[in-house]
Amino acid sequence: SQPAKRPQIKQLDEVAVNRIAAGEVVERPASAVKELIENALDAGATRIELCVKDGGKTLIRVTDDGHGIPAQDLPLALSRHATSKIDGTDLLNIHTFGFRGEALPSMAAVGRMTITSRIAGQDAAQIVVDGGAMGAVTPAALTKGTVVELRNLFYATPARLKFLRTDRAEMGAIADVVKKLAMAEPYVGFTIRDLSRDDKGRVTFRADAQSGDMFDALSGRLRSILGAEFADNALAIDAERDGVTLTGYAALPTYSRGNSISQFLFVNGRPVRDKLLVGALRGAYSDFLSRDRHPVVALFLELEPTKVDVNVHPAKAEVRFRDPGTARGLIVSALKHALADAGHRASTTVAS
């Protein structure tokens, strides 16, 4: 038989590299929305509008009033591993949502991206990247902030396109992402507009910027996202242990759910899905709820960035605690106390 032909080792070009990376960073329209809104928040935006067409498959556009990108930096913002958020020396001390410098080039590799931006004291500028091919920076019209538009997501990667769900399901996932970030940022106003029917669009979600102290702002925001019934049945949580704080709202056992999708947990302002924290919640409510019932909560853990590793995966919501015991213990004891104070005895026969 013929000996197997040995293939040559070749360096992949940047377009191919970005397209492969996009598979990690942007799984579906909702992940692109997450990256774009996080960028707007990192830029200090106070108002963010998201426009979506056909579940994000045709169009995702995020408009913010943040500090903008300098015209001369637009090509850099679209380059791989280019970021204004860290200098690479202290990966354990991250205070922004982003830091990898991967999102924009990845998204631009699997769609057509237009960025229009304006910083104070400069004219607005624009750049277009189509399937990874970057155009020149051109003058544009914009009063403030940044508009990032992503069209025809995944048209260059048909395999990925095929795995997307219905427009309705993708829109649902997008709304979930926005709601979580809106809970984490109550002082920022959020709007989602669905442009599927016409270009004027239909507002499908609105959360006005809140004011007042942290608890006022958060309860106002939770009222608009989780509803008045949650807000009226929630206990304010405010606890601290060994430099870790836990704040937010946790619903009374009488306001429980049959699934855990209404458990909103945040670590240092980031929405997370973490087994340890979910387990702690279960432990906290174990005297008050039967095993098939789940508490509704929006809880925020804050700890020194050096004590938690958020650098686990670009798109996944996992975190790694240096001292998991403290986080767990704090959640269990703070919630147990609050629930006991509220006068609710251990029960396994709580109605929904």
Binding residues (CB under 5 A) for Mg ion: these are 39, 98, 103
Place of tokens 């403030």: 144
Structure tokens at 25: 């960073």
- The footprint of ligand ADP on residues 216-235 (CB under 6 A) is none
- The footprint of ligand ADP on residues 295-334 (CB under 6 A) is none
Q: Which of 51, 103, 218, 338 binds ligand ADP (CB under 6 A)?
A: 103
Q: Which of 84, 204, 254, 262 binds ligand ADP (CB under 6 A)?
A: 84
Spatial CA neighbour of 50 closest among 182, 143, 140: 182
Residue nearest to Mg ion according to CB distances in the complex: 98
Q: Which of 39, 58, 116, 256 binds ligand ADP (CB under 6 A)?
A: 39
Q: Is 77 in the site for ligand ADP (CB under 6 A)?
A: yes
- The footprint of ligand ADP on residues 129-158 (CB under 6 A) is 146
Structure tokens at 162: 């095929």
Neighbours of 346 (CB within 10 A): 11
Alpha helices by DSSP H, the chain: 14-25, 29-42, 74-77, 103-109, 158-163, 167-184, 214-226, 228-232, 275-285, 324-341
Spatial CA neighbour of 58 closest among 118, 111, 1, 107: 111
Quick one: 99 or 321, whose CB is closer to ligand ADP? Answer: 99
| Site size for ligand ADP (CB under 6 A) | 21
Helix (H, G, I), strand (E, B) or coil at 342: coil
Neighbours of 121 (CB within 10 A): 6
Q: How far is the CB of 184 from ligand ADP (least distance, A)?
A: 16
- The footprint of ligand ADP on residues 169-208 (CB under 6 A) is none
Q: How far is the CB of 107 from ligand ADP (least distance, A)?
A: 8
Neighbours of 295 (CB within 10 A): 23
Neighbours of 334 (CB within 10 A): 24
User: Residue 58's binding partner, choosing from Mg ion, ligand ADP, none, with beta-carbon cut-off 5 to 8 A by kind?
Assistant: none
Q: Is 210 in the site for ligand ADP (CB under 6 A)?
A: no
Binding footprint of ligand ADP on the chain (CB under 6 A) = 35, 39-40, 43, 64, 66-69, 77, 83-85, 98-104, 146
